[in-house]
């Protein structure tokens, strides 16, 4: 069954998180998270259309390379569950400029709305906390999310926020899907001419 604990719409959540993103760098997990973030496209966003389970670790490599910038990983519960080991790696590394945000509808929405383990009691924020993240939480409403947003950009990490969202689905909104282009666009925006050294 779809998550009954939250009435928060995923796109409202993403818009709230990214409206004042400043110079933050964003990595999205494949599927709905990429499409959601794609509605607010920005050259400092790297979208995954594959590599399930890899979003958090791309965030770690990027955060190490850019210690003065905040890195936000925005992904789904299914994608995060496939990369649980990366929570241990990131917790152990104690990286200060990385925030992981999971849009948790408790469903694999791209493949037929099958329930994920988070619908059966698996607590992602609890796992991140046990892995040594500096702060973790689960939010189920827009006001609760809004109190977290400044922390996502400013509080020393690693941070982990499980945002429970409802089962709303949207048409695929992002047309940008050539991987080499997404990578090159991101690097050129961040590094300028050095991107092609």
Partner 1 sequence: MKAAKKPATPQSATWPLDIYKVFKQVGIRQIAYVPDAGHTQLIKSCHADKTMRAVSLTTEEEGVAMMAGAWLGGDRGALLMQSSGVGNCINMFGTIRECRFPLLTLVTMRGEWGEFNPWQLPMGQSTPAALQNAGLVVQRVDDKALVGETVFAAANMAFQTNRAVAVLIGQRVVGFKDWSK
> Can you give the binding site for partner 1, defined by CB under 8 A?
25, 27, 46, 48-66, 83, 85-86, 88-89, 92-93, 179-180, 182-183, 186-187, 190-191, 194-195
The CB-of-159 to partner 1 minimum distance in angstroms stands at 17
- Write down the least CB distance from residue 120 to partner 1, Å: 23
∠ CA 186-20-29 to the nearest 5 degrees?
45
The least distance separating partner 1 from the CB of residue 88, rounded to whole angstroms, comes to 5
Query: How many other CB atoms sit within 10 Å of the CB of residue 138?
Result: 19
Task: Give the C-alpha separation, 6 to 139, whole Å.
Answer: 9
DSSP result, the chain: ----S----HHHHHHHHHTT-TT-EEEE-TTHHHHHHHTT--TTEEE-SS-TT-HHHHHHHHHHH-TTS-EEEEEEHHHHHHTHHHHHHHHHHT-TTEEEEEEE-SEETTTT-EE-GGGGT--HHHHHHHTT-SEEEEE-SHHHHHHHHHHHHHS-S-EEEEEE--------------HHHHHHHHHHHHHGGGGG-
Residue number with CB closer to partner 1 (46 or 148) = 46
Nearer to partner 1, 19 or 111 (CB): 111
State the nearest-atom distance from the C-beta of 52 to partner 1, in Å: 7
Q: In whole angstroms, how close is the CB of 71 to partner 1 at the nearest point?
A: 8
- In the bound state with partner 1, the residue whose beta carbon lies nearer, of 27 and 145, is 27
Q: Which is nearer to partner 1, 67 or 150 (CB)?
A: 67
CB nearer to partner 1: pick between 61 and 150: 61
CB of 50 vs partner 1, minimal distance in Å: 5
Nearer to partner 1, 15 or 69 (CB): 69
> Strands 45-47 and 71-76: what pairing?
unpaired
């Amino acid at each position: 069954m779809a998550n009954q604990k939250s009435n928060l719409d995923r796109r409202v959540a993403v818009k709230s998180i990214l409206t004042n993103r400043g110079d933050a760098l964003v990595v999205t997990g494949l599927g709905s998270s990429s499409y959601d973030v794609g509605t607010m496209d920005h050259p400092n966003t790297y979208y995954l259309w594959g590599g399930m389970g890899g979003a958090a670790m791309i965030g770690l490599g990027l955060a190490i390379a850019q210690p003065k910038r905040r890195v936000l990983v925005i992904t789904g519960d299914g994608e995060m569950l496939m990369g649980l080991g990366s929570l241990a790696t990131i917790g152990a590394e104690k990286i200060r400029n990385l925030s992981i945000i999971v849009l948790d509808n408790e469903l694999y929405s791209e493949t037929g709305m099958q329930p994920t383990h988070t619908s059966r009691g698996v607590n992602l924020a609890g796992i991140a906390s046990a892995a040594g993240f500096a702060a973790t939480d689960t939010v189920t409403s827009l006001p609760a999310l809004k109190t977290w947003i400044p922390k996502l950009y400013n509080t020393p990490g690693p941070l982990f926020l499980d945002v429970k969202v409802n089962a709303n689905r949207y048409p695929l909104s992002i047309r940008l899907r050539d991987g080499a282009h997404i990578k090159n666009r991101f690097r050129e925006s961040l590094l300028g001419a050095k991107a092609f050294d």
